[in-house]
Amino acid sequence: MGDLTDLTIADARAGLRKGAFSAKELAEAHIRAIEAARPLNAFITETPERALAMAAESDARRKGGKGGDVGIPLDGIPLAIKDLFCTLGVRTTAASHILDGFTPPYESTVTAKLWRAGAVMLGKTNLDEFAMGSSNVTSYFGAVENPWRRRGDNRPLVPGGSSGGSAAAVAARLALGATGTDTGGSIRQPAAFCGVVGLKPTYGRCSRWGIVAFASSLDQAGPMTRTVRDAAIMLGAMAGHDPKDSTSVDVPVPDYEAALGQSLKGLKVGIPKEYRVDGMPAEIERLWQQGLVWLRAAGAEPVEVLLPHTKYALPAYYIIAPAEASSNLARYDGVRFGLRVPGEDLIDMYENTRGEGFGREVRRRVMIGTYVLSAGYYDAYYLKAQRVRALILRDFTEAFKTVDVILAPSTPSAAFAMGEKMDDPIAMYLNDVFTVPANLAGLPGISVPAGLSAEGLPLGLQLVGRAFDEATVLRAAAAIEDAANFDARPGFVAEGA
């Protein structure tokens, strides 16, 4: 039977269809793996009973002849869900103390679509509190450990963030795939740090309804998987218009898997020289050049493009995202859900609840957001950042007049050790220097594992495409995946069987 936790989604789908194993066996193997991997702290809540019940339904569907066909593309596939998606009857924390005891009476649109597609829920994965972070150290439920270690160095590394639990779970073979959300790189950066594929779709492609909001004009859900094909399969099930999210766009969802086989002949790949930042390690630069060589060999044509406002993306993001967060997080007031810390009067209760309920990074960002939106500073900070955002979008719009996809590194470094970069918030923010522009412009981006650093850690390459052209992004990503032939495995891999 082989190790069921080592399969891709595509292989597991084929095995289930053939009857080589049951959804129950597949779920059980993953439940054992999750138990064995508890030291990684990748999950906040495990849901083994739910997983077994959903797997039993899948097996019953298949016996009845109704499983695994069109409309049920993920029948029996066990997935992990970032604990930012509200799940009916299952505690949802956003990795924050302030949501203590919150059990959603509803299901997010994206997870509802996954369950309708037949997927099996293994549990809720750890993240940075309210998805604010790049290392998963801000979680109220403790840091997640990256399943990878540097060669000859036993210090635990961060998995990246904010979707660090999802990335670690997929890398360590605890789930065949996982959901993530990406506001400034929160899917792509942890995917790069853990050696998995992470796709942030176009803003508006997946419904945000039922996902705990961080920065509403930037947040987007997407898949995290071990192969590009698996990302295509998962995205197909997650994407689509939802009347409950007014920013979800009503455009057809193509067959992403079908796009993968198509040739790259004639595809124009943009190389933005502005991504060559000061102090970027030579191995990242080399990997980037290697990516270009691979795409050229597959038939694509490299073209230099200009994205002149790239260096302003990060400071603009650190106005816009905290501003939106300060507004979104106003709802946590100790009245309707979650934690309440008593006070002398109503306002004192609000202040105590929010002072105790939010962690340090969340407090810091809510305060920056409050400041840049406050009277006298709104024009100088918030409107200024929105104008810079318009220029960043214009840069991409111009570039996409001549190219079909843009190639860049995913991150400026490999995963770092816990404790590093923790003293200076800006040093931590710089992790997202290559990923933030796609969020500001609303464009789809993917990180594909492309090689190992000198220290033996995974490095990712990023592709950014035109709005709603995930198909081309996936097609180019598949070419890099084929050429890179990334088969390295993390030091920590849970054995399911």
Partner 1 sequence: MSVDEATVRKIARLARIKVKDEEVAPLAKELSHILGWIEQLDSVDTASVAPLASTVNAKLPWRKDIIDDGGYPEKVLANAPEGVQGFFAVPKVVE
Rule CB under 8 A: which residues touch partner 1?
101-103, 105, 203-204, 217, 243, 246-247, 249, 309, 311-312, 315-316, 318-319, 326, 330, 333-340, 342-343, 345-347, 349-352, 354-356, 358, 363-364, 366-371, 374, 381, 383-391, 393, 424-426, 440-442, 467
Question: Is 207 one of the annotated active-site residues of the chain?
Answer: no
Question: Is 384 one of the annotated active-site residues of the chain?
Answer: no
Question: Is 186 one of the annotated active-site residues of the chain?
Answer: yes
- Least separation in angstroms between residue 434's CB and partner 1 is 18
Helix %, strand %, coil % of the chain (to 5): 40, 15, 45
Beta carbons of 418 and 408 less than 8 angstroms apart: no
β-sheet bridge partners, residue 465: 405
- E runs forming strands in 390-465: 405-409, 445-452, 458-465
- Least separation in angstroms between residue 439's CB and partner 1 is 9
Pairwise CA distance, residues 198 & 449, whole Å: 9
Comparing CB distances to partner 1, the nearer of 470 and 481 is 470
Per DSSP bridges, beta strands 78-82 and 120-125 are parallel
- Least separation in angstroms between residue 55's CB and partner 1 is 28
Pairwise CA distance, residues 293 & 267, whole Å: 14
Comparing CB distances to partner 1, the nearer of 209 and 486 is 209
CB neighbour class for 373 (10 Å; exposed up to 12, middle 13-18, buried from 19): middle
A 10 A CB-CB count for 154 gives 7
Beta carbons of 7 and 67 less than 8 angstroms apart: no
List the catalytic residue out of 22, 82, 96, 108.
82
List the catalytic residue out of 22, 186, 410, 447.
186
- Least separation in angstroms between residue 48's CB and partner 1 is 24
Pairwise CA distance, residues 284 & 223, whole Å: 24
Beta carbons of 449 and 486 less than 8 angstroms apart: yes
Comparing CB distances to partner 1, the nearer of 335 and 497 is 335
Comparing CB distances to partner 1, the nearer of 293 and 383 is 383
- Least separation in angstroms between residue 16's CB and partner 1 is 35
- The residues carrying an active-site annotation are 82, 162, 186
